[in-house]
Structure 1
């Protein structure tokens, strides 16, 4: 094909050959355009599931939703983790508070047990044979026990206890019961064993509460310390009973019965074992014990060990009553029990200190977790807003890039059209691919010159707008005819066209038939035209063509042009200028080539010859009349001037309005105009 005629072109390289395709835009040569945007523009309908074109509003929303979903997943995960962590810390804090309350209650129980044990021992001493004359040592323990009872916050008595011990229903009932027992206390109405049994039954109830309290605490990381604390309290109670029974042994010289001896051994051994076991569960026992023992003035441990051995050696045979030994035993065991009570108090304080530290840590952790949750809650919408803005900016940038790409492509179309208008497609493709366009010699081509007779006079009688409108219509007709043949429009100057076939693409011997068919087609269509602003005023065209060798090449650096050089060009121009309006002037060489191809009707021109050729001989010329299979390519004359045809072909040149118009004549014979006033210029 010759002139691009306004079509869109794209360069494709296949097997080393350049092929020009007019089906797509020239995105392949726009290296500045992003590949993704280019692909979206070229393939806007290749969309998968949940994948819309991001250059559309719907696609923009989908892309934005996907990006927000991606950022929401880690943010929500962080929020959930922070919430779970806060819940766990709060739960742990609540457990610590419960454990602290339990431990505090256990400590209060331990203090109460120590007070009751001391009261029991003093009462037993009061009714024993080694009792001092004054009873102040007994009554001095009563306020301490009452104070320990008042400090007790809970009263977790069980139902089965109330059936046997109804005075345990309330703390006030128990205090009244204990006060009544104290009021009735006298050496004459009770014995040591009765008092031991009375207080031991009470102590056992509180020991059960201690076991239940520590068991309900679930350990919570302090189970070893709690078990050690529990064993220490129970050991203190058992050692207190052993102190009382040992005092009786030394005061009387023997036990009342063998059961008393077994009872003493049981309490002494169990108390000692519990104390040793408490050391194994917590290293604090050893440190507290060593600290307290070193502060004592006398070695009470040796005294206790010797007196225990004396009880074991003489339990069966007995001894003489020894009030001095009984006093030493009681005093030494009292020192030992006081040490156990001090250790018990220190252990309780240590446990509470650890719990307070854990609570402080939990409070700090809760504060940190709350701050983290607040930060997540506050930053989440900020991050989403930032991503929304960022995504919107990116999509706006993509839309702007797409818009600029379309504008660039439109400009590219114009530049391509201009380049293809100046150069043949193959040469234009070589130049666009930065390949050298070397000049070539062509042995056999056909060159045609064509002009409109009287065009200058018409232009002189018309306004500029009318001239431009008329010429646009004429060029449309010429370009439409040229597009149907293997002919290249080499040059157009004013109303003169220089056309060639067989160059730059060699087509064998078809070049002469292509030019001949085109010449007949042009004459046919031009004869149907009239000047739009001058009714009944038509056009006549003069055509001349010659066949021969030429040299062709691209000339010009700033504005490249495809030019033909040689006698063939000169001869064709002389044939055109020496021809007649409405007729096709053919040289001898073209005549012979057409005869060889066949199908064309020519007649020799007899009136004159065109000068001489370069060898000095005259040139015989001929008129091309018609051909056998000649058919016009438009079914009706107005077809060539329809707006949609022009809009499609020259859309890149005329964006808003169509300024080319040619008036076709209807209902007239193609060969003879019968209107009396019809004239040719």
Structure 2
């Protein structure tokens, strides 16, 4: 028998009689009596002979029936105290001490019956406890499910609200820009577009769309519609922009939030807060639409009846839903009293509304900017209220979820403890050593697998980035951009590769590029050249970085270029045996900057006018020729082993007139061009 801290029975060992002559089992499975005596007896039993489980049971059971007087005799190797006779006296004393509840533990049948009684004695209270705790867990899980569903609805409502806010800002700036046709207004449009892109990107939830109810099945489709509208914004009218943003984009988003509120299963107070938030963002959207429509008035000086009616509808919508939201949540009114009512901002907005209601004004860009600025400040006040609402709702909901989680955890703990008390202790004690050994073996295997994967990862990283840069990244050191005074940049592409791709299958195109780049990569390994990247059929590499090599960079690139022309000319495609791959190469020498760009799939990139000029040399070159800039020509002239030909002056895009050269060949030489420590 093992007792927990609350004296519960944790296995089926018998209770020593001298621990408590008349032990009483309570309704919750605990034993009333002297706990200290019980623990003392348990300790003495463990310190005795460690025989079989059957011997322990016999010793504990026989001791239960021992009396304080009589002769000491041996029974199956166990010392017991008896009366004047053996079995009959023992049975009588057993019935006197504990009645007929205990059977003879010396027999197999008695031990089985006793074990059954002990199991029932411990199992019935535990079973009742499990049932009660299970009901509590079920109720707590239901509450937690409702809370989690409400959290999802709240997150969706918040994300959608931010998206509506950003779309309203883009609508206002776009409408003002289209109405005024003023270039200075386009910069705010671009800023608002970035806000919209960020808000749409942050929308992690997307509702299930029923057939025929909504046209945007996913976020990509919605984003595409916005992008298409941006492309044709210069040819549209303010009315078209108002209709597009208000009816096509924002209205469905608001319907989503409304559907989420209607389907909410949360408590009354939470549902009321969500309704307040929903009506408030509708009010804010109404005022945002009013602002967009008002800018058209200042651009034209008046509105048509249809436009003025639309403007009044949106303003009325904003006022009506704002009053409704204040009924659901008094916090909104408190904030408006502090920041809006009787403020200079409210007075300015009211005056501008009166001017618009007169519907007779001279187009005025400056006045339009003032109106837009005042309405935007009003929108900022509303946006602060929206943030306050979401913060309050989130805090309340987080507290409820935390309470629910604590309830679930506590009830689950009780259930698990109750379930494990009876069967688990013996099972885990007998198998814990085997489990530990199994876990150690698995852990060792996993560790070996991790080390293998680490080596593979390091190999891949060293292929993607220079070795020095890769080592810094692995060791956690910062990788700063570095400036190089002199490098030589190589650009190449395949002439008429577009036509070749059009007449080949994708698999054939990829196979062709793979053969080409494999040959070029192998050739690069023979030189002090670093491959930067490939884009389609374009190949970019550089010498002189990341490790500086003095004036060797131009020599390395030139020799490699001549070899590549020979290597590539021998490539033949199985599906086009008569087709000859013709490279067009451009070289340039000069300074550049190199560094790591990006976080996801980081790249080691080079920047500078040197790179641009090398690209221009390639694009203005000819097939099977190496086009040099004057800087590269001067660098190669130093070695006096290259045959170069002047091409003449050319008008290079972005550079103007430039004198360029052809690299024809390399003379054979045995002299050391770089000194004893560097081999060319």
TM-score range, shorter chain: 0.3 to 0.5
Largest Rg, 1 or 2: 1
State TM-score, norm by structure 1: 0.42
TM-score (norm 2): 0.42
